[in-house]
Amino acid sequence: MKPVIMTLKEQDWECLQAILFQADGRERQVFLELGLREDQHTFEVLLHRLRPVADADYLSQGLYHVSPKPQAVVEAYNAFCRSGVLVHGHVHSHPFCDVAHFSAVDHQTLGQIRRGLADLVTLQGLNESTTCFQMVLGRDPAGFEGVLLNLWGEKMGALSTVRVITPQGIRLYQRELGEDNSGALADVRLDRNIRWLGKEGQKKLSQTHLSICGLGGAGALLVANVRGLGFREITLVDPERLEPSNLNRFVGAGIEDVESYKVDILKRELRRVAPETIVHALPCGVEDPEAQARLREADLIVAALDGMQPRAELQILAARFLKPLFDLGSGILVQPGGEIRRMGSQIIVYIPGQACLACQGMDLFRPTEGLAGEIRRRTGYVVGATTELTPTSVVTINSVAAGWTVDLIIKFLTGIGPIPLYTQINQWRGIVEQLHFVKKESCSLCGLDGIEGKGEDRAVLPPPPFPALGIQFDFGDGQGSPACWTPTGARPHGLFGNLVAKLGKPKDYDRSANGKESH
């Protein structure tokens, strides 16, 4: 039997608490639609959607008991069938205690739900790997008990941890304490970290599995920045071997490393500083099954990639498995005569529950057209000149982008945040701009009917509507609605930077009928 981790977004956790614990002190229930991830050591259930039971839909309800009407149960089963996820869940409250435990009645209810689910699978022809999850929650957020069962009533795992993904980091509630990290905290190599982050902050880093995808100039510098921070486990993903032209910006490599896989070189460098670090070096693309499996196990994903297709792969995985995703790109635009027009970088962050990369202006699903083609040519390379070989000066841009990204990661993981989701660094002009995008409820990734928390199901992702780049900015104008702005053929400044020069209203806008401002 394996431990079970439950992962959900902050807004869903707060909604669950508000529904289950109300002023009248009565028990309440919520049905859950959950995605599933399994590895060698754990099960992870990922909350896709809550299905609360309204007070009017209880057959009986009191301070120590609750029972929904049959119709409410049928509606929950029907919604589960439509969702495409693999786990049907049920949670109820024990508002009379801090730490909850299953009662005899709870075990009886679980048996009824499990048998009903088994009948549903047979009648509807659902996946036989469908499972049943039950949870009871006390007033203390860590006062829970939960269990995962298969359709035959066999116990697959017990709930040990609830992970809440917030804009300020990942919050953990554990029924039992995990492994002792006091040895890691006493490590003299982490002394300067602890002086800055404190023992609790360093403990959070030391419990984190970090993945870095793309080991070009920026990716190599990312590794150089994180190697002394005490991360427990690091996954490196890149299919390329080191070339002679990479040596001017690939930190840690020498001439003897030419033709070696980049992941192997950087694994060596990580282990030189911290031999105890678990490092997975995967010489493949992010779409490779082995890479996908490791990325699903990670706590946070960093992307330093050249193309849009691998970015789309990572965004879909991050949404399905509720993984924070940090994407960075950098480049220089050079005139044919050698004059530099622009140089800089951008860092875009996806936190489950917030705007995805597509809602923040990245044209993920049309990698060969329009803005996306231009972005792909700019990301990580000089464009406009007669060569695509990166000159020495690009290492300065990559250094800033990598350092800034790692700084954001530290702030996020340790809870120092909140952090900006979109940062553009114009090194040519010495300007840093931070924008806030509002996610679109119609988005097929992060919207109301999106794929967040669906886990390993195989639901088809619908294509985005045309035009692909419809984005929303929150101008904080007090009008009650975000401003909506769709670019129409404007040449991008940096990486979508010219869409808005500063965090403020465009100079020209019209008030539309729906109360939004359209540029």
SS3 122: helix
Residue found by looking up tokens 């949404």 in the block: 319
Average pLDDT over residues 186-215: 83
Determine how β-strand 340-350 pairs with β-strand 131-137.
unpaired
User: For residue 346, which of 468, 409, 435 has the smallest C-alpha distance?
Assistant: 435
36 or 190: which leads in pLDDT: 36
Binned at pLDDT 50, 70 and 90, residue 34 comes out as very high
With beta carbons less than 8 A apart as the criterion, state whether 470 and 484 touch. Answer: yes
CATH 3.40.50.720 domain locations along the chain: 182-435
pLDDT at 252 over 90: no
Whole-angstrom CA distances from 487 to 162, 219, 424, 472, 479 are 41, 30, 18, 11, 22
pLDDT of residue 197: 78
Give percent above pLDDT 70 in the chain.
78
Least confident range from 20-24, 151-155, 164-168, 399-403: namely 151-155
Alpha-carbon span 72 to 57, nearest angstrom: 6
442 or 481: which leads in pLDDT: 442
Specify the DSSP element, H or E, that contains 119.
Answer: helix 104-124
pLDDT at 68 over 50: yes
User: For residue 509, which of 484, 491, 488 has the smallest C-alpha distance?
Assistant: 484
Residue found by looking up tokens 């991830």 in the block: 37
Binned at pLDDT 50, 70 and 90, residue 125 comes out as low
Q: How many residues appear in the chain?
A: 519
Determine how β-strand 43-52 pairs with β-strand 2-9.
parallel
Task: For the beta carbon of residue 368, count every other beta carbon within 10 angstroms.
Answer: 10
User: For residue 328, which of 220, 227, 414, 233 has the smallest C-alpha distance?
Assistant: 220
pLDDT at 150 over 90: no
Task: For the beta carbon of residue 199, count every other beta carbon within 10 angstroms.
Answer: 13
pLDDT at 377 over 80: no
pLDDT at 57 over 70: yes
CATH 3.40.50.720 at 182-435, yes or no? yes
With beta carbons less than 8 A apart as the criterion, state whether 492 and 484 touch. Answer: no
Binned at pLDDT 50, 70 and 90, residue 371 comes out as very low
With beta carbons less than 8 A apart as the criterion, state whether 109 and 68 touch. Answer: no
SS3 490: coil
pLDDT of residue 54: 92
User: For residue 361, which of 448, 437, 446 has the smallest C-alpha distance?
Assistant: 437
Residue 467: asked if its preceding bond is cis (omega within 30°), the reply is: yes
* Bridge partners (DSSP) listed for residue 350: 325
Binned at pLDDT 50, 70 and 90, residue 518 comes out as very low
Average pLDDT over residues 130-148: 92
Average pLDDT over residues 405-431: 90
Average pLDDT, the chain: 79
Alpha-carbon span 433 to 420, nearest angstrom: 10
Chain segment 323-338, per-residue pLDDT in tens: 999 999 887 777 777 7
CATH architecture of the domain 2-174 equals 3-Layer(aba) Sandwich (3.40)
SS3 169: strand
CATH 3.40.140 domain locations along the chain: 2-174
Binned at pLDDT 50, 70 and 90, residue 457 comes out as low
Binned at pLDDT 50, 70 and 90, residue 259 comes out as very high
pLDDT of residue 185: 52
Chain segment 261-305, per-residue pLDDT in tens: 999 999 999 998 888 889 999 999 999 999 999 999 999 999 999
Binned at pLDDT 50, 70 and 90, residue 236 comes out as very high
SS3 341: strand
